[in-house]
Amino acid sequence: MPTLIQTAAQASARGVRARARRNRRLRPVRPSRADELWYKAALLAVTGELKARAQRELLPLLQSLEPLYRPAADSITAHDRASTPGPAAQIIRTRVQALRQQFGIEGAAQRLAQAATARAAQSTDARLADSVRRSIGIDIGGFLTRNTAMQQVMDAATRANIGLIKSLPEQYFDTIAERLTAGIDAGLRYEDLAGQLQSLGDVTDHRAKLIARDQTSKMNGAMTMLRQTSLGISRYVWQTAEDERVRTEHAALDGQEFEWDTPPATGNPGEPVNCRCVAVPVLDLDDSGGDGEDGGDDGSSGLTLGGAVNTGLAAAAIGRYFGEWASAYDGFNPDQPRDEHGKWTEAGGASLSAAAKSVKPGCALVKHPAGSFDAKDVAKATGHQLDGYRAIADTHAMQHTLKKHGTAHEASRGQKQITPDDFGRLPSILSTSEENISAIGKTVIGRDAIGFDKQMDGWNFRAVMEVRTGRKELALVSLYTIGKAKK
């Protein structure tokens, strides 16, 4: 049965001449750079307002409260006794929570997400039509209508982007509350806290840029997949960005041919977070293997696909590019270490140790993957349901740990003096068995804390992790030892 594009080719003189050609490669539909820059500027306007409001409201308050700053004991019971935030920290936390509630972004997020999605759809259709016209002289513009399937993909993209836009102020204010209250109770000076506030704003800008870049690529990938499969283009050739930043696993796919519905393990081009690869369409105009009918899948003229088929194609595109957008996106760290060629490196003990060696007072907040844990064991041991959570260790937690447990005082009381290299033990500690996992109270900002214990090199190590439900993270709070291991 002829595909839609084969049927359209029969009406074109140039298309008829090209019909005998198989495996014809068209120009790939690349994400629009103009759309990405527009989206980035719009998101940076949001983060700019966030930073301005936080600095305007919090810097004078932080300065006026400096006489109330006090050092606090470490945050967890057993080894470090539990403590509550001091009065200055409580005031700051309350003010930050009020700022978060006052920063209304629901309407703006919806308008911005809808505009970004509409721009992506227009750019994708225009580039695909241009690619087909240049290659085989067929104008398919009339077939690229805003049908039900395309609207479903656009709606899914809009929902995903609304959530990501709303996450900017949510994560920004949550992190400000966490870091400023911890810094106040750790005895940091006003100047140090002001520096942290600036650094957190920079991190939020980086996240906004990543959203613009990644979502422009994802919308292009999902819409390209739908449009091409709807036209009957079922195959593509993988093409990378052909530079030193290409992932190793994607470089290995360059030049290989795949079907849209059976992609490689990495997914289709543009599907992984921050993927810049594209699909080069492979076109067959020879319909000699068909039954000679001009009817479509629903028995219509062949120029449109049936509703059930369209719905299936839309569901496939949505599932691949937007089905798990929240967990997939939050699992990506834009500041993940790169090698000397700029390629992303895998998370592991060595990268954690290297990150810890670079921390210093006032450093920017950078999150690093900290390995994996068994959610079932955690649930049995503590009652916390952490399916879909990721373990992270950020630079501020590393700095806190080294300040509290990386001094000679630890050795004087029979404990190991924690060094940057000890953070490389985290993946092993988190993989400990169920009997070595326990709920150990609350952190200074009221989050549930879980202890992971493991004997290593003659010491009883404990990693204290806090549960961040909003971001689905199990984040490092502190790392220390509880005496020497029994022989």
Q: Crossing angle, helix 148-185 and helix 106-136, to 10 degrees?
A: 130
Sign of CA dihedral 334, 339, 343, 346: negative
Q: Which phi and psi (to 5°) does residue 482 adopt? A: -120, 70
Domain-located, residue 391: yes
For 462, phi then psi, to 5°, come to -130, 125
Q: pLDDT at position 213, please? A: 92
Task: Name the residue with higher pLDDT: 352 or 307.
Answer: 352
**Structure-derived torsion over alpha carbons of residues 222, 226, 229, 232, reported in degrees to the nearest 10:** -140
Please tell me the distance from the alpha carbon of residue 392 to that of residue 277, in angstroms, as a whole number. Answer: 28
Q: Are 169 and 330 in contact (CB under 8 A)?
A: no
Segment 23-61, tens digit of pLDDT? 678 888 899 999 999 999 999 999 999 999 999 999 999
Q: Across all residues in the chain, what is the average pLDDT?
A: 79
Q: In sequence order, which ranges of 232-368 are alpha helices (DSSP H)?
A: 248-251, 307-321, 325-330, 349-357
Instruction: For residue 199, name the pLDDT band (cuts at 50, 70, 90).
Output: confident
Instruction: Kindly write down the DSSP assignment for every residue of 367-418, as one continuous string.
Output: EEE-----HHHHHHHH----TT-EEEEEHHHHHHHHHHHSSHHHHHTTS---
Maximum CA extent, the chain: 88
Give yes or no for residue 326 having a pLDDT over 70: no
Distance CA 115, CA 121 (A): 10
Cα radius of gyration (the chain): 27
Return the percentage of the chain with pLDDT > 90, whole number.
33
Residue 487 has pLDDT above 90, yes or no: no
Give the residue with greater pLDDT, 346 vs 22.
Answer: 22
Residue 192 pLDDT greater than 90, yes or no: no
What global pTM score does this model have?
0.63
Overall number of domains in the chain: 2
**344 lies in some domain:** no
Residues 319 and 440 in one domain: no
- Is position 292 within any domain? no
User: Among 19-28, 211-220, 437-446, where is mean pLDDT lowest?
Assistant: 19-28
What the block records as the tokens of 282 is: 């492979």
Mean pLDDT over residues 382-409, rounded?
89
Q: Are residues 379 and 309 in the same domain?
A: no
Residue of higher predicted confidence among 467 and 291? 467
pLDDT value of residue 75: 42
Do 355 and 326 share a structural domain? no
Instruction: Give me the mean pLDDT over the 325-336 stretch.
Output: 44
Residue 193 is assigned to a structural domain of this protein: yes
Same structural domain, 361 and 302? no
Nearest to 220, CA basis, from 36, 37, 24, 43: 36
Three-state DSSP class for 80?
Answer: coil
- Asked if residue 357 and residue 312 are part of one domain, the reply reads no
Confidence class for position 311, pLDDT limits 50, 70, 90: low
pLDDT confidence of residue 65:
87
Residue 448 falls inside a structural domain: yes
Structure tokens at 403: 């300040």
Task: Establish if 115 belongs to a structural domain.
Answer: yes
Answer whether residue 344 shows pLDDT above 80: no
Do 53 and 192 fall within a single domain?
Answer: yes
Q: Are residues 274 and 367 in the same domain?
A: no
Q: What's the rounded mean pLDDT across residues 364-393?
A: 87
pLDDT bin (cut points 50, 70, 90) of residue 339 is very low
DSSP sequence for 301-316: -SSS--HHHHHHHHHH
In this model, does residue 300 exceed pLDDT 60?
no
pLDDT in tens, 110-129: 999 999 999 999 999 999 88
* 335 in any annotated domain: no
Q: Is residue 340 part of a domain?
A: no
76 and 210 co-located in one domain: yes
The H or E element that residue 198 is part of is helix 190-231
How far apart are alpha carbons 38 and 162 in whole angstroms? 16
The dihedrals phi and psi of 283, each to the nearest 5 degrees, come to -110, 130
Q: How much is the average pLDDT of 266-289?
A: 80
Q: Are residues 57 and 99 in the same domain?
A: yes
Residue 248: C-alpha distances to residues 77, 151, 241, 275, 368 (Å): 44, 35, 12, 12, 20
Residue 76: the pLDDT is 41
Residues 269-280 have pLDDT tens digits of: 988 888 889 999
Contacts of 132 (CB under 8 A, 6+ apart): 5, 26, 138, 139, 140, 283
Task: Please choose, from the candidates 401, 386, 390, the residue with its C-alpha nearest in 3D space to the C-alpha of residue 448.
Answer: 386
pLDDT in the model for residue 381 = 94
Average pLDDT over residues 459-486: 90
Helix (H) or strand (E) holding 455: strand 448-456
Q: How far apart are CA 216 and CA 238, in angstroms?
A: 18
In this structure, the answer to whether residues 51 and 127 fall within a common structural domain is: yes
The predicted pLDDT at position 72 comes to 43
Looking at residue 11, what is its pLDDT?
52
* pLDDT classification of 361: cutoffs 50, 70, 90: low
- Name residues whose C-beta falls within 8 Å of residue 296's C-beta, 6 or more positions apart in sequence: 4, 302, 303, 304, 305, 306
Among residues of the chain, what percentage have pLDDT more than 70?
79
Q: What range defines the domain where residue 26 resides?
A: 4-287+298-330
Look at the alpha carbons of 333, 334, 338, 342 in this order and tell me if their dihedral is positive or negative: positive
CB atoms near residue 277 (< 10 Å): 24
At 484 the pLDDT is 87
Q: Alpha-carbon distance 44 to 220, whole Å?
A: 21
Q: Are 381 and 425 contained in the same domain? A: yes
**In whole angstroms, what is the distance from residue 206 CA to residue 291 CA?**
54
One domain for residues 319 and 407: no
Q: Which of 131-135, 159-163, 317-321, 348-352 has the lowest mean pLDDT?
A: 348-352
> Are 398 and 406 contacting, i.e. CB atoms less than 8 angstroms apart?
no
